[in-house]
Amino acid sequence: MWGWWLGTFILACWATLIGELTLAMVFRLNRRYVEETNQEMQDRNRQAMNALKAGEKRIYKGLNKLANEAFGKAFFLQIAMGASSLWPAFLAAGWLEMRFGDVPILLPASLGQVTYVSGFIVLYLLVRIGWGQLKKRLGLGARTRKLWQTLKDIRRKKKNISRQGM
């Protein structure tokens, strides 16, 4: 029983590591496009805010529509790149299916049994959460966090302006 849990934990660690390496590679290959998309989003937002401050409501609406399109493009680009880190988990789950598909997995302390999928998902999520915390402490992934923070800041500014009556 403990052997399965330890082996699955190690498998979850490998899946996380390979996924993170894939994400880093995808980000590196698309870095220029991501930065251009992010810059376009910031420029359109700044132009829309300047038009609003100048009292040009019609121009603001047009620029705001362009800013929303740029925001959507940047947001979904980040989502797609983030999804690239998940493929090793699916591969690992498929391998576990071949090996342990019909075997009930006992929980520690005789609390019952689970399937291989639920055990793997729990361990994988714990490893991903732990890795995320470790990355923050080590200062890894700062560029990605900066892009996500920019998206959040622009979205927050838009919500505040829409609450003011526009």
pLDDT in tens, 15-54: 999 998 998 898 888 888 888 888 888 888 888 888 888 8
Which domain does 16 fall in, by range?
Answer: 2-159
92-103: pLDDT as tens digits: 999 998 888 887
66-75: pLDDT as tens digits: 888 888 888 8
The DSSP secondary-structure symbol of 106 reads E
Task: Answer yes or no: is pLDDT of 148 > 70.
Answer: no
Q: Is 117 among the domain residues?
A: yes
pLDDT for position 102: 81
Q: Is 165 among the domain residues?
A: no
With beta carbons less than 8 A apart as the criterion, state whether 22 and 88 touch.
yes
Q: Is 113 among the domain residues?
A: yes
Q: Which residues contact 14 (CB under 8 A, 6 or more apart)?
A: 88, 92
With beta carbons less than 8 A apart as the criterion, state whether 159 and 51 touch.
no
Q: Is 164 among the domain residues?
A: no
Can you tell me the distance from the alpha carbon of 31 to that of 112, in angstroms, rounded to the nearest whole number?
Answer: 47
pLDDT for position 40: 87
Which amino acid belongs to residue 118?
S
Q: Is 141 among the domain residues?
A: yes
Q: Is 83 among the domain residues?
A: yes
How many separate domains does the chain show? 1
**pLDDT classification of 107: cutoffs 50, 70, 90:** confident
Can you tell me the distance from the alpha carbon of 12 to that of 6, in angstroms, rounded to the nearest whole number?
Answer: 10
Tokens representing 116 are 């291989």
pLDDT for position 94: 92
Q: Is 166 among the domain residues?
A: no
- More confidently predicted of 13 and 52: 13
